């Protein structure tokens, strides 16, 4: 009898231990889920603000500006294209460099005239030797033969000037887009019906295209409106006899577009349009998994 009681007591203690472990595991799993849910989108800049933005040295000396941003269909920002004006005698060329070379700096709220800037932490002598191209003769940036040399140059330069490595900008892709040429591009339904054209592109500071703004007035009787669409909801392809015509499609419905988060233009609305929670609602509306999770 004593033996039976002892075994029963041991079994009860073991059950309590298992229950406690399960509860601890559940709490830990719940905590992990909460952490995932609380992750927010990176800081976003609109391409219209990014292009033309000044680029400075680590000592805040202005040396150039952003002329364009080149992206891959997968969403990666491949290259920032810079001009340097008359600085260092490089005024007649443009320079494409991996986005990871640049360091984004947010404005200082304590300073009245502070503004967003991009820092180029490279020695001027290295920039003078950087491979550039003529403004009127852009290279094919989807070409691996071109990109490997560019990536290698800036990787070597950053190894010498900084501990932060440069990630390769090249991706396996036959298409690249300049943000300036994305604006005005007609987005179609998979059936070929026109939805509207791209008015804006949002790029985050980590080097990812976040969303685009479509003007959908006229589609199935929808009134003029600007709606945000996740980059990952778009499909990219090539068409035409020579296979050189770039196409962008979006599988959607009139009801989905009518209820889509509207983009509000204007500097006073900029904080809202770049707010991580609002961007999260855009992805949720189109049932797209946010790329930052």
pLDDT digits (tens, 9 = 90+) for 55-109: 988 888 888 899 999 998 889 898 999 998 766 667 778 999 998 888 887 766 6
CA dist 58 and 81 (Å) reads: 19
Asked if residue 105 lies in contact with residue 118, where contact means CB atoms within 8 angstroms, the answer is: yes
Ranked by mean pLDDT, which of 25-34, 197-206, 231-240 comes out on top?
A: 197-206
The CATH architecture annotation of domain 44-161 reads Roll (2.30)
| Domain boundaries, given as residue ranges, for the chain | 44-161, 183-285
CA dist 52 and 184 (Å) reads: 19
Q: Please state, in angstroms and as integers, the Cα–Cα distance from residue 284 to each residue in 137, 187, 262, 278, 292, following that order.
A: 41, 21, 14, 10, 13
The token pair that represents 171 in the structure block = 């991706």
pLDDT at res. 7: 39
Asked if residue 198 lies in contact with residue 213, where contact means CB atoms within 8 angstroms, the answer is: yes
pLDDT, tens only, 260-277 = 999 999 889 988 998 889
Q: What is the pTM of this model?
A: 0.78
Same fold, 44-161 and 183-285: yes
**Homologous superfamily in CATH for domain 183-285:** PRC-barrel domain (2.30.30.240)
């Amino acid at each position: 009898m004593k033996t039976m009681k002892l075994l029963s007591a041991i079994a009860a203690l073991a059950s309590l231990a298992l229950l406690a472990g399960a509860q601890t595991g559940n709490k830990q799993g719940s905590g992990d889920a909460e952490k995932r849910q609380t992750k927010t989108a990176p800081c976003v800049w609109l391409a219209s603000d990014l292009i033309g933005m000044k680029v400075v040295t680590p000592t805040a000396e202005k040396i150039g500006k952003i002329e364009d941003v080149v992206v891959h269909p997968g969403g990666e920002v491949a290259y920032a294209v810079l001009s340097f004006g008359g600085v260092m005698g490089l005024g007649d060329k443009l320079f494409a460099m991996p986005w990871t070379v640049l360091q984004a700096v947010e404005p200082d709220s304590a300073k009245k005239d502070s503004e967003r800037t991009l820092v180029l932490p490279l020695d001027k002598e290295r920039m003078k030797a950087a491979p550039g191209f003529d403004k009127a003769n852009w290279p094919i940036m989807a070409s691996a033969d071109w990109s490997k040399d560019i990536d290698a140059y800036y990787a070597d330069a950053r190894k010498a000037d900084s501990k932060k490595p440069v990630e390769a900008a090249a991706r396996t892709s036959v298409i690249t887009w300049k943000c300036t040429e994305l604006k005005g591009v007609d987005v179609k339904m998979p059936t070929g019906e026109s939805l509207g054209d791209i008015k804006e592109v949002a790029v985050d500071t980590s080097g990812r295209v976040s969303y685009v703004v479509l003007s959908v007035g006229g589609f199935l009787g929808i009134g003029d409106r600007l709606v945000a669409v996740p980059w990952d909801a778009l499909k990219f392809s090539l068409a035409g006899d020579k296979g050189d015509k770039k196409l962008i499609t979006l599988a959607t419905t009139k009801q989905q577009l009518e209820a889509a988060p509207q983009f509000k233009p204007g500097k006073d609305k900029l904080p809202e349009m770049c707010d991580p929670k609002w961007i999260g609602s855009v992805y949720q509306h189109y049932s797209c998994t946010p790329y930052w999770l």
